[in-house]
C-alpha cells in the first residue's frame, strides 16, 4: 500500500480529521479528537503506527517478523509500526479499521453518540 492510499482510507472514515500536531513531517489521524493512526512522512520505507489489541499485536509481530514491530515512539504494548509496502494491503485496511474501532469503543458514550449522529 502506498502512503496516499493509506491516507485516503483513513480520512474516509466517519468523524476523522488529520493534522500535524507533532511537526510538519508527522501526519496524525484522529477520530473525535483521539489519535488512531500516524505516519512520519519522511521515513523510508513508508511506515505507519496503528493501535492494536495487545494479544493481537504480539501475534502480528510474530507472523510479520520485521515488518510489523512494536510501535516506534509509542506504547509498545498497544501500538504497532507497520511497513506499508511489506504487508498486504487488505491486512493494512483491516488493521486501520481495528485501530479506529478500538478508539471509538473507548470514547465516552456522549462522544460515541455524537460520532453516530455525524452524516
Q: CATH number, domain at 45? A: 3.90.1150.30
Q: What does the pLDDT average to over 63-92? A: 92
Q: Is residue 11 part of a domain?
A: yes
HEC-encoded secondary structure of 29-91: EEECCEEEEEEECCCCCCEEEEECCHHHHHHHHHHCCCCEEECCCCCCCCEEEEECCCCCHHH
Q: Is residue 115 part of a domain?
A: no
Q: Which three cell numbers stand for residue 32?
A: 473525535
Q: What is the pTM of this model?
A: 0.95
Q: Which three cell numbers stand for residue 106?
A: 473507548
Q: Is residue 112 part of a domain?
A: no
Cα–Cα distance measured from residue 41 to residue 47, given in angstroms and rounded to the nearest whole number:
8
Q: Is residue 68 part of a domain?
A: yes
Domain of residue 48, residue span: 3-106
Q: How confident is the model at residue 72 (pLDDT cuts 50, 70, 90)?
A: confident
**pLDDT reported for residue 98:** 98
**pLDDT reported for residue 73:** 80
Q: Is residue 111 part of a domain?
A: no
Q: Is residue 81 part of a domain?
A: yes
Total domains in the chain come to 1
Task: Please state, for a pLDDT cut of 90, what percent of the chain lies above it.
Answer: 90
- Start-to-end CA distance of the chain, whole Å, equals 28
Amino acid at each position: 500500500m502506498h502512503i496516499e492510499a493509506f491516507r485516503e482510507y483513513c480520512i474516509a472514515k466517519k468523524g476523522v480529521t488529520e493534522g500535524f500536531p507533532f511537526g510538519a513531517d508527522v501526519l496524525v489521524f484522529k477520530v473525535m479528537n483521539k489519535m488512531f493512526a500516524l505516519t512520519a512522512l519522511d521515513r523510508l520505507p513508508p511506515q505507519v503506527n496503528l493501535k492494536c489489541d495487545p494479544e493481537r499485536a504480539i501475534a502480528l509481530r510474530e507472523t510479520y517478523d520485521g515488518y510489523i514491530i512494536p510501535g516506534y515512539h509509542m506504547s509498545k504494548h498497544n501500538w504497532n509500526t507497520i511497513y506499508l509496502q511489506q504487508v498486504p494491503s487488505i491486512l493494512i485496511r483491516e488493521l486501520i479499521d481495528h485501530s479506529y474501532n478500538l478508539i471509538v469503543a473507548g470514547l465516552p458514550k456522549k462522544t460515541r453518540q455524537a460520532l453516530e449522529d455525524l452524516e
